[in-house]
Amino acid sequence: MPIPVSLIGAPTDVGAGARGVSMGPEALRVAGLQTMLESMECPVFDRGNLNGPPNPWLPASDGYRHLAEVVAWNTAVHAAVHAELKLGRLPILLGGDHCLGIGSISAVARHCREQGKKLRVLWLDAHADFNTSLITPSGNIHGMPVACLCGHGPEPLVQIGGHVPAITPQSVRQIGIRSVDEGEKRFVHEMGLEVFDMRYIDEMGMRHTMELALAMMDSNTHLHVSFDVDFLDPDVAPGVGTTVRGGPTYREAQLCMEMIYDSGRLGSLDVMELNPALDVRNQTAEIAVDLIASLFGKSTLMRR
C-alpha cells in the first residue's frame, strides 16, 4: 500500500544570501506536486505553510545571519515533521532555504531513536553545507546545516532535536557536490564526511555512485533525502539562487531518483532552495515535481 504523504510548506529565505526561495512551496504546488502524488495512488495531506518570523535582511552578527529567526523556523519545522512521522506518514518539506534541513533531519533522527531505526541521509546538493561561524565567508546559515546536524554550530540549533549531535557524519552521503569553500574542504575531510562529488560521478557514473550511497541499508533503515534543487545543472534547473555549472544532467538525476525508489527505504524528503523569482515559467518547479515522481516509483516500463 502506498504510504500517506504530508506536504509541509516552509516559506522562508531567512538563512539564504538571496531573496525568493520563500515562494518555493507555492511554486511546487502550482507545478502539480499533490496531483502527481495522488495519480500514483498516494494519499496526500497538504498541511499548508508553517509560520515564522520575517526575514530582517541584516548583516552577519558573531558569524551568523539571522540566527534567532533561523532557530524559530527550524523549531517549527522540527515539530511539524516529527508529528507527521509519529502518524506514520511520509513528510515532504517544501522549502524554503536549506537551513531548514536542520529542523527536518533532527526530527527524522529523533523519530529513528524513538523507533530503534538506523538513519541514512542522502544530501543531494551542489554544496557541502558544512560551514561553521569560524570558516563561513558569508554567515548565511543555509551553508551550515550539515555541520549543525553533526554538532558543530550554535547551541540553539544543534540542540533542536534534543540530542547532540543529531546525526553522525557516517550517516550522511553527499551527492553532486561541486562547490566547497576553502576552510570547509578541510573540515569535511577532518570529519570523514562521505562525498560523491561531480568528479567521482564523471569518472564512475551515477549508477555506481548510487549503489555505494545506498549500500548497507536494511529493512530497519530510514532513508531521508534532502534534495536541494541546485543539485541539478543550471541548464536544467535555472530557478535557484546559488547556481553552479557542471551538475548532474536531467537523465542522471532521474536515475538517482529511480534507484532511491528501488531501495524501498524512502521515509522522508526535503525539497529545498527553489527560487521562482529566478526561474523561467516555473520550469525548475516542474522538473522538481517530475523527479519526485521518479522518487515515488514513476518509470518508463514496469520493472521486474
The single residue of 13, 129, 184, 290 carrying the catalytic annotation is 129
Catalytic residue chosen out of the listed positions 84, 181, 273, 286: 273
Active-site annotation holds for 286: no
Catalytic residue among 66, 78, 98, 224: 98
| Residue tagged active-site, from 13, 125, 258, 279 | 125
Catalytic residue among 184, 230, 233, 270: 230
What distances in angstroms separate CA 168 from CA 109, 150, 158, one per listed residue? 10, 5, 12
Helices 101-115 and 67-86, axial angle in degrees (round to 10) = 40
What gap in Å lies between CA 102 and CA 234, rounded to an integer?
25
Q: Are 275 and 239 in contact (CB under 8 A)?
A: yes
* 197 is a catalytic site residue: no
Active-site choice (111, 127, 152, 224):
127
Is 163 in the active site?
no
Gap between the Cα atoms of 46 and 269, Å rounded: 14
How is residue 292 written as a grid cell?
A: 519526485
Residue 44 corresponds to which cell in the numbers above?
A: 496526500
- Annotated active-site residue 181? The verdict is no
Q: State yes or no: is 142 an active-site residue.
A: yes
Beta strands, E only, the chain? 5-10, 44-49, 90-95, 118-124, 172-177, 194-197, 221-228, 266-272
Catalytic residue among 66, 111, 142, 222: 142
Among residues 60, 143, 132, 137, the alpha carbon closest in space to that of 97 is found at 143
From the candidates 13, 84, 97, 228, give the one annotated as an active-site residue: 228
Q: Is 125 annotated in the active site?
A: yes
Known catalytic residues?
98, 125, 127, 129, 142, 228, 230, 273
